[in-house]
Structure 1
Amino acid sequence: MTESLLRLVFFLGVLGVMLLWEWRSPFRTFPEDKTRRLSRHLGLMALNSTVARILTGGGAYFAAELAFEHHWGLLNQFALPYGLSFAAGLVLLDFAIYLQHLAFHRVPLFWRLHKIHHLDLGFDTTTAIRFHPLEIVLSTYYKMVLVMAFGLLPLAVLVFEILLNACALFNHGNARIPAPWERRVRLFLITPDMHRIHHSSYKPETDSNFGFSVPFWDKLCGTYCATPQLGQGGMEIGLNEQRDPKLLNFSRLLVLPFR
């Protein structure tokens, strides 16, 4: 099974589980039809994948194979045990994605692209795949440079990409976790309640909880927010600058960063 097919199988599996969970135990309801949201966001993901494949080739996994074959990168200069190199790759990539997310909020040019993700007036597992194609391309190049600079193992890159997609689908879920369980899970994994705060329209909350998998980076770097000001039920999702759903269709999302 190729790398791309393996990632797709895991993605579809987790997406199916999350859609079922949201249907059985939704946290809140949104006015927009679920089918319309799913088709628009899957359309964005398909476009993003196509554009990224054309402009970046094989992406981070291809870069890792190249680095491994030619012994490029920092970790390839040492005779490290395979398990240690694998674990180091996962940790480095996870922290790098945290820093990337932070940069896409702090740098105005990057924010023009990333706000497409935050303009979603709903919050469900499909929000996890709602990104502008140029953001995906920039993210892929960033990971490729990182992978080659550190000489990360191809298997570590593949496992990380699968985990990143799975965690993003999970923590964007419009799903209800009982409070006692949510507090326990949040100790080692970013939950929907934690990441939902990041999609608040209140800017101090938007600029918090940047992690995608584990909560440790936010806590270490001072960007952790445990509870929204208006509570999970009263928190407004989206951005105040645009709240008309008619202006947030597929084509408008693509051109919005250039206006």
Structure 2
Amino acid sequence: MAALEFALPKRGQPLGRVKRWPTNWALVVIDAALVRLIFPIGGVGLALLAQDRGWGLFGWLDWSGAVAWIFAFVVLDFAVWLQHLASHKIPVFWRIHRMHHADSEVDVSTALRFHPIEILLSFIWKGAIIIALGGPAEAVLVFEIVLNGAALFNHANASLPLWLDKVLRLAIVTPDMHRVHHSIRRSETDSNYGFNLSVWDRLFGTYVAQPKLGHDGMELGLGPELTPKAHQLPFSLVIPFLSAERRTERSEINKS
């Protein structure tokens, strides 16, 4: 994805990778280390444990095979969409999640730019869903691979042909679709919550096709309170504890 966005960039990046990437990738290392330290068993390990103990829905119904695989994948994808929605609608979760949105540009590194607290909360949420389902472990493994790959894809600063974007977003979230979610306009930020399947935003009325100012004209990030310093690692880590107000649509319109 990094090579694709380098070869076919969608937007210019005035700040550049040199200033942004060290912080974003440092957060990846911190997040991975914390998860392995606190939850060494991992999501697949939880699924194996649930299967072995007969926990969860699949254990009770004795489901297995393709039906269990498809059901588990779809439920986990919806769970991630729902978690993302809650991260915007519940104030305490938004304070944590806004570190992800504070990035001044959106590219492949933004896909993994999450606060360690959010990563831990996300693991607890997904772990609870995995145990409630009771596996299958292989489906959980495939889901985790697809989820991370999809996040890298839809955050990429890559330019896809319009016809291809139109076809792909019927099923999955494309870079243009997800970029709308990173707009400085709150009405656009509060849309397109999907990370993999695009169906949930269409079903629940949170789908916005294109940004009002276009992909070249739209502003990304959270405004002057947070975004200018978001490429600094110490500042990024304390964003959840800062008291910057959420933007209002009126202030965004006036600014535009």
Aligned residue type for 1:38: W
Rounded Cα–Cα distance in structure 2 between residues aligned with 1:248 and 1:25: 24
- How does 1:10-159 map onto structure 2 within 5 Å? 18-159=1-142
Structure 1: how far apart are the matches of 2:218 and 2:205? 22
Give deviations 1:146-167, integer Å, cap 9, x for gaps.
1111212111111100000000
Give the Cα–Cα distance (whole angstroms) in 2 for the partners of residues 251 and 153 of structure 1: 39
Structure 2: tracts of 5 or more residues without a match: 243-256
Please tell me the root mean square deviation across aligned C-alpha atoms, in Å. Answer: 1.3
For residues 213-239 of structure 1, give each alpha carbon's deviation from its aligned partner in whole angstroms, at most 9, with x where no partner exists: 111000001111111111121111111
Normalization by structure 1: what TM-score?
A: 0.90
**Distance in 1, Cα, partners of 2:36 & 2:25:** 16
Conservation of the 8 A alpha-carbon contact between 1:119 and 1:242:
no
Question: Greater shift after overlay, 132-141 or 32-41?
Answer: 32-41
1:233 corresponds in structure 2 to 216
- Is contact 2:19-2:231 (8 Å) kept? no
| CA distance in 2: counterparts of 1:38 and 1:208, whole angstroms | 26
| Cα 1:243/1:140, change in 2 over 3 Å | closer
CA distance in 2, matches of 1:67, 1:147: 8
Q: For structure 1, which runs of at least 5 residues remain unmatched after alignment?
A: 1-17
Using the size of structure 2 for normalisation, the TM-score is: 0.91
What's the offset of the Cα at 1:53? 1.6
Matched, 1:178 2:161: yes
Match of 1:199 in 2: 182
Inter-CA distance 243–47: structure 2 relative to 1 (3 Å threshold): closer
The structural deviation recorded for 1:244 is: 5.1
Q: Identity over aligned residues, as a percent? A: 43
Q: 1:220 aligns with which of 197, 200, 203?
A: 203
Q: Which runs of 4+ in 1 moved over 3 A?
A: none
